[in-house]
Amino acid sequence: MTDSSNLSSLVEEEEEGGGVGVGVGENSQQQIKTIPSAFSSIPDRPATQTSLQKYAPLEWLGYFDQEDDISIAGTNDVFHVYMAGSEGPIVFCLHGGGYSGLSFALSASKIKEKARVVAMDLRGHGKSSTENELDLSIETLSSDVLAVMKTMYKDSFPAIVLVGHSMGGSVAVHVAAKKAIPKLAGLIVVDVVEGTAMASLIHMQKILSSRMQYFFTIGKAVEWSVKGGYLRNIESARLSIPSALKYDDSKKCYTYRTRLEETERYWKGWYEGLSDIFLSCPVPKLLLLAGTDRLDRSLTIGQMQGKFQMVVVRHTGHAIQVYYCVSSIMCYLFEIFI
């Protein structure tokens, strides 16, 4: 057996040429010929996008063209709107509960090529400011939308297509049913039907309470919304989640702008009787769904009778409008106006 005490230790030293030099003995001046590293031919790995960059907030400019605050006469209510496009009919967009008008940003960037877009922050959401932030009754929300339209257009209403997602879909239907818009040209409801919505209400408080409630940065809130499935599209989340948050000075972190859990008494009113009201609206109608399982009996019969058009957009989740796949809306507008 060889006496290991007589063996000098081997020390690897990195050479400037990128190979590995092997020295014999810590103090030895003898150097063995440099041999190329097995890794010297592998290109450097490109820098990976950090979580901070990946989920950083995005500015809405470039998607919408401008924003404005609409003050309602005789009240202290001020509603924030985002606008895009310069000609064509108005596509007036109403977001779902807990979202904001910026949830339509990706859609607006495409629709504005053919029409004008207005996306409103509803009461208690986004940058809107009202005397009673918790009054999310369907009557109040519908009245708010009509008040904003009358303030913006006065006696010269353009042709308007109402688009509403989830809770906003219910608001759009009730606004259309009031027959108060002189030139209402169409109604588009995004992923909300009475049967499924009513059945899900018993789970809503649990869903809301299970959400992460506080975030040290806006980026963390964006990351959670994507990974938690609230918004599957990262770009849309980076655009819209910041407007769904507010800073809590007492806790030194961000939390949700809208206190949905305190509005439960209004939830049933959003969806009760919605299918029949939708079917009764005397305008062309389009229902965008994330799955056919969402149809209830009334809508199934109405669809078979040709009372509305229906398009199923799969693999998007509940917030269909946060994707660029707005070809259904574009085709629908084309059929109405061209």
pLDDT in tens, 302-327: 989 999 988 887 666 666 655 555 54
Residue pair 285/309 in contact (Cβ under 8 Å)? The answer is yes
Mean pLDDT score of the chain: 83
- Per-residue pLDDT band for 12 (boundaries 50, 70, 90) equals very low
Q: In this predicted structure, what is the pLDDT of residue 292?
A: 67
Residue 298 has pLDDT above 90, yes or no: no
Percent of the chain with pLDDT over 90: 59
Which residue, among 206, 159, 210, 211, has the nearest Cα to 187 in the 3D structure? 159
Q: In this predicted structure, what is the pLDDT of residue 7?
A: 37
Q: In this predicted structure, what is the pLDDT of residue 48?
A: 55
Q: In this predicted structure, what is the pLDDT of residue 195?
A: 85
Q: In this predicted structure, what is the pLDDT of residue 337?
A: 53
Residue pair 268/201 in contact (Cβ under 8 Å)? The answer is yes
Say which residues have a Cβ less than 8 Å from residue 3's Cβ, sequence separation at least 6: none
Tokens coding 170: 């219910």
pLDDT in tens, 80-113: 999 999 998 999 999 999 999 999 998 898 888 8
Q: In this predicted structure, what is the pLDDT of residue 147?
A: 98
pLDDT in tens, 162-212: 999 999 999 999 999 999 999 999 999 998 888 888 988 999 999 899 989
pLDDT in tens, 252-262: 999 999 999 99
Q: In this predicted structure, what is the pLDDT of residue 272?
A: 94
Q: What is the set of active-site residues?
A: 166, 191, 318
pLDDT in tens, 207-219: 899 989 999 999 9
Percent of the chain with pLDDT over 70: 77
Domains of the chain in start order, with CATH, are 52-337 (3.40.50.1820)
Q: In this predicted structure, what is the pLDDT of residue 295?
A: 76
Q: In this predicted structure, what is the pLDDT of residue 37?
A: 47
Residue pair 300/317 in contact (Cβ under 8 Å)? The answer is no
pLDDT in tens, 36-94: 444 445 555 554 567 778 999 999 998 999 999 999 999 999 999 999 999 989 999 99
Q: In this predicted structure, what is the pLDDT of residue 26?
A: 41
Residue 146 has pLDDT above 80, yes or no: yes
